[in-house]
Amino acid sequence: MKKLINELDDVVNEQLEGMAVAHPDLLKVHFDPKYVYRADAPVAGKVAIVSGGGSGHEPMHGGFVGMGMLDGACPGEIFTSPTPDQMYECAVAVNSGAGVLFIVKNYTGDVMNFEVAAETASAEGIPVQNILIDDDVAVKDSLYTAGRRGVGTTVLAEKIVGAAAEAGYDLDQCADLCRKVNSNGRSMGMAITSCIVPAAGKPTFDLPDDEIEMGVGIHGEPGQKRMKMASADEITTMMVNEILDDAAYTRTVREWDRENNEWVDVTITDEPFEAGDKVIAFVNSMGGTPVSELYAVYAKVVELCEARDIQVVRNLIGPYITSLEMQGMSITLLKADDEILKFWDAPVNTPGLRWGV
């Protein structure tokens, strides 16, 4: 294994130290327990947006801490959920009194730990809400996940809900918007190569020299199928079709009832895309795939959307939710109404995403 690391046990700490040294104007790092938070937190009167998950998906989440996006991010070890104490202490650090929204990718460990953290924070008088991101159309009930996995829509949700919080949305409004973004967003990924988790020291999976994994997860977990390498157009077409053909998706998730201090089951249905929709198209590198290849994919995404009378009105192209050095890419389409577009366009100032400032 060849990686630019020092001690195997210290990989995440070293990265966090580098971030703290590089971006003192934007963020601070707390090391025990580990969380990244806005340099100016808590921001008076503002709902705090917090996310987190295993490390290895950089710049998500720590790289999205800053004005207009996240107030806090809780990094686990690589591809490992952070712990409830990280989430709780982060919430305490960033809560201004207006409450904390946890944006939670749908992986069993993340979901469970953010629930524990929400209960603890709530018991301490911090208004909290957990909203799940479960946008991966590739598989259902896979390794690490009951239901669909949370992938690319997470980045878009953090940007959009972060901007709404900045604009004065209260906790319920932020939660509603985050639910909407999740319901409007669908993603699918593919892998060309595996990545190597430092602690494992060997590829997470074996992929022959002429095969790809369609529907791969961001931890290298299995997707839909292995297939022979195909052209960028063929691969993009398969993925966009999966996303655009995806039927209504109904499931029940647990949300926190702040009035009664209990978890309640909420049934959510994501409606399929339809002609006339406007979308934000997000073409993401899994890490090792160069941006040049993403542009070829993007051109095809636009063509395929237009053929269905779906208009791509914004885009994000680059490595934003990665799997270490994995080669491959994911496509996310997010149906965007005026509210979503307004907050997408709003200023953001983070290490990983910056505009308008």
List residues near its own copies by CB under 8 A. 2-6, 11, 14-19, 21-22, 55-56, 58-59, 63, 192-193, 209-210, 212, 229, 231-233, 235, 287-299, 302, 315, 317, 319, 322, 324-325, 327, 329, 351, 354-357
Q: HEC states along 171-206? A: HHHHHHHHHHHHHHEEEEEEECCCCECCCCCCECCC
First to last CA, the chain: 40
Min separation Cβ 142 and its own copies, Å: 23
48 vs 188, beta carbon nearer its own copies: 188
Min separation Cβ 42 and its own copies, Å: 25
State the Cα angle at 269 between 266 and 274, rounded to 5°: 160
192 vs 334, beta carbon nearer its own copies: 192
Q: Distance (Å, rounded) from C-alpha 254 to C-alpha 84?
A: 17
Q: Distance (Å, rounded) from C-alpha 354 to C-alpha 86?
A: 26
Active-site residue flag, 57: yes
Active-site residue flag, 219: yes
Min separation Cβ 151 and its own copies, Å: 17
- SS3 of the chain: helix, strand, coil, percent, to 5: 30, 30, 40
Helix (H) or strand (E) holding 159: helix 153-166
Among candidates 116, 26, 12, 96, which has minimal Cα distance to 63? 26
Q: Distance (Å, rounded) from C-alpha 317 to C-alpha 281?
A: 8
Angle between helices 171-184 and 153-166 (to 10 degrees): 150
Min separation Cβ 182 and its own copies, Å: 25
Q: Is 186 left (phi over 0), alpha (psi -120 to 50) or beta?
A: beta
Min separation Cβ 240 and its own copies, Å: 14
Per DSSP, the three-state class of 232 is: helix
Both structure tokens of 128? 């909290």
Helix (H) or strand (E) holding 40: none
Q: Dihedral of CA 124/30/61/149: which sign?
A: negative
Min separation Cβ 354 and its own copies, Å: 6
55 vs 113, beta carbon nearer its own copies: 55
Of the residues 23, 30, 57, 61, only one is catalytic, namely: 57
Q: Which residues are identified as catalytic?
A: 57, 219
